[in-house]
Amino acid sequence: MHQLTLAEIARGLADKKFSSEELTKTLLARIAALDPKVNSFISLTEELALSQAKAADARRANGENGALLGAPIAHKDLFCTQGIRTSCGSKMLDNFKAPYDATVVSRLAAAGAVTLGKTNMDEFAMGSANESSYYGAVKNPWNLEHVPGGSSGGSAAAVAARFLPAATATDTGGSIRQPAAFTNLTGLKPTYGRVSRWGMIAYASSLDQGGPLARTAEDCAILLQGMAGFDKQDSTSIDEPVPDYSASLNTSLKGLRIGVPKEYFSAGLDPRIAELVHNSIKELEKLGAVIKEISLPNNQHAIPAYYVIAPAEASSNLSRFDGVRFGYRCENPKDLTDLYKRSRGEGFGAEVQRRIMVGAYALSAGYYDAYYLKAQKIRRLIKNDFMAAFEEVDVILGPTTPNPAWKIGAKTGDPIAEYLEDLYTITANLAGLPGLSMPAGFVDGLPVGVQLLAPYFQEGRLLNVAHQYQLNTDWHTRTPTGF
């Protein structure tokens, strides 16, 4: 039962082959037995899950139907869940029970999804390896000595380990797509503004975007359908109609113009990954796509610009954690400054502190123009590159990551080494474009992802291309040994 996808679960529930309650109990037992090896959950919500499952079964008994009605999911632990710990992977919020539900959480609950728990993540979503969590590193189910990617590593590892069919995640510089690539999943970062950020604890507000992680493009379409849409509570939510993502999955790829940026195949890319990317291109050509070489000349400037913009926004966003109103408070403060400094010094981990300080420096008097404004100008150059490319092609294809998942601890203490791994994913966040990673093969037994990027609001096109690819390949069906 744990091998079922969201689409298969919806059919099984509609055909009364099993109930949501049975499925939920099976998966909760599986998590209890196997998650100690993976550490993908921070909190389990058994009681809530069982009551939601029973309610979904009752709604189905009353003749209701729906792709998510009774479907088990989990939320990355930065989506606020009312009355349930929402830790953001941080000691700072270890004692924080959110007083309300994020829009994503309430929409999925209304659609009948069953929340099994809250998944582990890099602290405040700052990381690419899920090693910076206060709750310990998450292990990659494909090789428990390797990282699952980050920052949505708990969501990715839980889905890869077949603990559940899909989970919510967020992506600020690649945090959905990179863990998807590292764990053989399909993950989609939507257009900036497509999914509400209300109740999603902010890291870098102009880059953060929620999206689905699942095994198939078909399932990502189902979960995204439940997450997407205008929300007046989020001032950056975009009021655009949400198309039927499942309806466009079967569109033919005949004549689809796929751009392959020449800059993606530079020295930093593992040649074995390059070969798998080329194999995926050949597969898509067989399905009727036309390949064209393109150029994104400012691609290499994305990482330096990102490491100004994201920390600057983070330093501002995280100033709300002061030890006074909620969250961690230090013992016996001697004055107000001591209360602030020790609560933040003791409550935040090393990487979060580094990014807050980089941001505070970049925004400080005398440095704003040289850092923040300069980075925003580069941001426009990167967007302009994409706009020019999309004059010629419908989607852009390349590797999701330059290397497969590294060993846990291999990059500890060397933040730059980890930052450079986000080379291919960061540009979509800076430009606000939708991006998807899909399984495309293995290197040394570790999964490899191919990334697809599309113009604004073309999530349906990305899901369509990935679904057609998955109908003709079986990489996404492979299960890690032991799970």
Residue 232 is among the residues annotated as catalytic for this protein: no
CA atoms within 13 A on the CB side of 247: 4
As a residue count, the chain comes to 483
Which residue in 258, 292, 274, 267 sits closest to 441, CA to CA? 274
The only residue of 2, 118, 177, 344 in contact with another protein, by rule CB under 8 A: 344
Catalytic residue among 87, 151, 246, 343: 151
Binding mask 407-436 for another protein (x = CB under 8 A): --------xx--x----------xxxx---
Binding mask 138-177 for another protein (x = CB under 8 A): ----------------------------------------
Nearer CB in complex with another protein: 276/356? 356
Residue located via tokens 């009948």: 112
The only residue of 206, 248, 251, 479 in contact with another protein, by rule CB under 8 A: 206
User: Least separation, in Å, of the C-beta of 236 and another protein?
Assistant: 7
Task: With beta carbons less than 8 A apart as the criterion, state whether 138 and 148 touch.
Answer: yes
Give the span between the Cα atoms of 280 and 226, in whole angstroms. 29
Structure tokens at 278: 């080329």
CA angle (109, 43, 216) in 5-degree steps = 55
Nearer CB in complex with another protein: 177/467? 177
Residues 6 or more apart whose Cβ sits within 8 Å of residue 43: 77, 84, 85, 87, 117, 118
Task: With beta carbons less than 8 A apart as the criterion, state whether 144 and 408 touch.
Answer: no
The only residue of 46, 94, 285, 346 in contact with another protein, by rule CB under 8 A: 346
Helix residue spans in 103-195 (DSSP H)? 103-110, 153-160, 177-182
Residues 6 or more apart whose Cβ sits within 8 Å of residue 36: none
Give the span between the Cα atoms of 48 and 428, in whole angstroms. 36
Catalytic residue among 175, 237, 246, 343: 175
Nearer CB in complex with another protein: 255/366? 366
Residue located via tokens 């995204």: 224
| DSSP assignments along 105-117, one per residue | HHHHHHTT-EEEE
Asked if 479 is part of the footprint of another protein (rule: CB under 8 A), the reply reads: no
Asked if 338 is part of the footprint of another protein (rule: CB under 8 A), the reply reads: yes
Backbone angles phi, psi at 368, to 5 degrees: -55, -50
Asked if 105 is part of the footprint of another protein (rule: CB under 8 A), the reply reads: no
Catalytic residue among 19, 76, 133, 246: 76
Give the span between the Cα atoms of 298 and 379, in whole angstroms. 9
Residue 286 is among the residues annotated as catalytic for this protein: no
Residue located via tokens 């902010």: 202
Nearer CB in complex with another protein: 219/418? 418
The only residue of 30, 54, 59, 97 in contact with another protein, by rule CB under 8 A: 97
Binding residues among 231-260 for another protein as defined by CB under 8 A: 232, 235-236, 238
Backbone angles phi, psi at 64, to 5 degrees: -75, 155
Structure tokens at 233: 């509570």
The only residue of 381, 410, 443, 471 in contact with another protein, by rule CB under 8 A: 381
User: Least separation, in Å, of the C-beta of 313 and another protein?
Assistant: 10
In eight-state DSSP terms, residue 191 is P
User: Least separation, in Å, of the C-beta of 210 and another protein?
Assistant: 15
Asked if 304 is part of the footprint of another protein (rule: CB under 8 A), the reply reads: yes
User: Least separation, in Å, of the C-beta of 300 and another protein?
Assistant: 8
Nearer CB in complex with another protein: 153/193? 193
Give the span between the Cα atoms of 313 and 119, in whole angstroms. 24
Asked if 263 is part of the footprint of another protein (rule: CB under 8 A), the reply reads: no
Candidate ranges 35-43, 70-78, 91-99, 136-144; the one touching another protein (CB under 8 A): 91-99
Q: Could you tell me how many residues of this chain bind another protein (CB under 8 A)? A: 78
Asked if 46 is part of the footprint of another protein (rule: CB under 8 A), the reply reads: no
Candidate ranges 33-41, 54-62, 263-271, 319-327; the one touching another protein (CB under 8 A): 319-327
Asked if 301 is part of the footprint of another protein (rule: CB under 8 A), the reply reads: yes
User: Least separation, in Å, of the C-beta of 460 and another protein?
Assistant: 18
For 294, the enclosing helix (H) or strand (E) is strand 290-294
Residue 189 is among the residues annotated as catalytic for this protein: no
Give the span between the Cα atoms of 216 and 420, in whole angstroms. 28
Asked if 387 is part of the footprint of another protein (rule: CB under 8 A), the reply reads: no
Candidate ranges 47-55, 276-284, 331-339, 399-407; the one touching another protein (CB under 8 A): 331-339
Q: Which residues are catalytic?
A: 76, 151, 175
